[in-house]
A and B are shown apart, each in its own frame.
Chain A
Amino acid sequence: MRNSAELTRREFIVKSVTAISAVYIIPDLIPKAVASKPLDVEVSDKTKWAINVDVNKCVDGCTACVEACVDENGLYGFDRPETDSQWIRKLRIKDIKTDKVTTLPMMCQHCENPPCVDVCPTGASFRREDGIVMVNQHTCIGCRYCMLACPFKARSFVHENLTEQVTSAPRGKGCVESCNLCANRIDHGSETTACEEACMKEGHHAITFGDLADPNSRVSIAMQAKPSRRLREDMKLKQRVTYSGF
């Protein structure tokens, strides 16, 4: 009589295939509910944060994204528009041939080949593993080379003493600063940036944020649905912020 613990060849193969698929394949098929990482884990290049802006949905005169950014990061100014910090601003473009007016939000484009990082003498301007280009203000000496190097005028310099910073966004005199894709928020598990949230609340849905590495993320779906382009593609900066609709 055969020992019940002994497997036939067929049973052995079936069981081992089932076990392997249960361990390795099935977890990959189930979409992850939250893309966020635990607080104590380093960011990695497995996440590729990106923004897609649908220019056709962006409404002329609406500044919800700008105001949300100001609130989120405590970017109060001194009523001096030439020097006050702006991390995101609205642009109004008019096509000379057709007179078509387009408005779009302009912020740090989070290039994969960022010129601001190339020129920084102290390494303060850097690109995080997950693609966020930001300033390490502990090492920034305020030379403003990065502001000159940036083709998108994305960076600002803080000229004056500040006192009312928010805890989540430290900033101070003598340092350059720019959009950091709400790094603090998304590290703590948020799936939206302040500007995207504001745009959705207004019902415009022009800004879409998400993880490019995940084909089911909002930004991937938005980019599959329509053609998108980077600004000044001839410079080969490979921005993570893309624009659709013009």
Chain B
Amino acid sequence: METNQPILEIRDLHARIEGKEILRGIDLVIRPGEVHAIMGPNGSGKSTLAQVLAGRDLYEVTRGEVLYRGRDLLALSPEERAREGIFLAFQYPVEIPGVTNLYFLKTALNAVRKHRGLPEMDAMEFMKLVREKLALVEMDEAFLRRAVNEGFSGGEKKRNEILQMAVLDPVLAILDETDSGLDIDALRVVANGVNRLRRPDRAMLLVTHYQRLLDYIVPDRVHVLAGGRIVRSGDRRLALELEEKGYGWLHEAGTPGA
């Protein structure tokens, strides 16, 4: 088994939306077990990168390639990516009236299981699994009967994302500003859930504006994104440096495109 094959390899990735170039040559390699953090000021392209990896067709990839476990990721539809093990925890999870959380989770899990050649879960097995995962994010079972994200508070929405992640058991989890809008207690719950999902065969990419999240989820690598490129990479001390100096110095340093 090629344990050291990267889970994600991004090479010279360029992407644009409505003619405007947002990503201008991203290079990034994430190996199994690693947690990487992408930090950067607003508008630097962090969320775009997350969305492009999940397959959002609003964005057009104009150059470069992305390999996921050695395969061309960009050739896959969003649902194929999810079934292959990519999970995006959204910054702003959408509300879906009329579809219960329970039904949504079960449909998603069975779609993923079917792709992996596993039988559909029956109601009993499924409930057992979901109860276990609910505990992970300290959510009440009553959430399952509510419509997906409808009327959820910001913290509930983020916890619901982590619940879905736990149920779908991804290989690569991309967390887009999962810390935004959370108070300190909610942040702790969400971070705990994420930490307990860290595994040697799983990789995570945390997209965040603030280093606060990284006090709770300690990354192996930190990258600074500015003007659509990674301008610095380092270990977690880089995040602390950013916390201290802010993002202003990036512009002063004459970052291309900033």
Report if A and B associate in a common complex.
no
Interface set of B (CB-CB < 8 Å, partner A): none
Interface set of A (CB-CB < 8 Å, partner B): none
